């Protein structure tokens, strides 16, 4: 993957990956989600390099006006990441509920097996 250099390019690539994350979550494609997150991690490292090196100095005295394109991309990115977090939260809640149902079903099945006498003896053993 060719990593972009400009902050707006980094943000755009990150946003595209966040949108792919959304699709992966909705499709429950966890390996694709992991791949997206690895690529986002690479972009975050690149962003940190830019921010710590070539980026504008932080603070109110920075004479360079903020890039409107970058601002819009960052706002969209933040919204997308929040949406993805909510999707993951809902997926987790659904899976936890399903796990709870399966756990209760297994418990009930064990109870039934304990209450009922085991009748798995071979037919011939009744006559011996």
Rounded mean pLDDT, 64-69: 80
In a domain, 2, yes or no: no
Among the residue ranges 22-31, 69-78, 81-90, 106-115, the one predicted with the least confidence is 106-115
Name the nearest CA neighbour of 74 among 91, 90, 51. Answer: 51
In a domain, 61, yes or no: no
Which domain, by its residues, includes 51?
7-55+74-114
- Where would I find the H helices in the chain? 7-26, 30-52, 68-115
In a domain, 17, yes or no: yes
In a domain, 64, yes or no: no
pLDDT at 38: 97
In a domain, 14, yes or no: yes
In a domain, 89, yes or no: yes
Count: domains in the chain: 1
In a domain, 27, yes or no: yes
Query: Which pTM was predicted?
Result: 0.69
């Amino acid at each position: 993957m060719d990593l972009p250099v400009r902050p707006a390019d980094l943000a755009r690539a990150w946003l595209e990956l966040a949108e792919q994350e959304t699709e992966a979550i909705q499709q429950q494609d966890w390996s694709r989600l992991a791949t997206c997150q690895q690529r986002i991690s690479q972009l975050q490292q690149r962003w940190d390099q830019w921010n710590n090196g070539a980026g504008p100095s932080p603070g109110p005295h920075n004479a360079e006006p903020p890039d409107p394109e970058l601002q819009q991309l960052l706002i969209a990115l933040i919204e997308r990441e929040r949406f993805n977090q909510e999707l993951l939260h809902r997926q987790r809640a659904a899976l936890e509920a399903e796990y709870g149902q399966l756990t209760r079903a297994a418990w009930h099945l064990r109870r039934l097996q304990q209450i009922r006498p085991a009748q798995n003896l071979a037919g011939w053993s009744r006559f011996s």
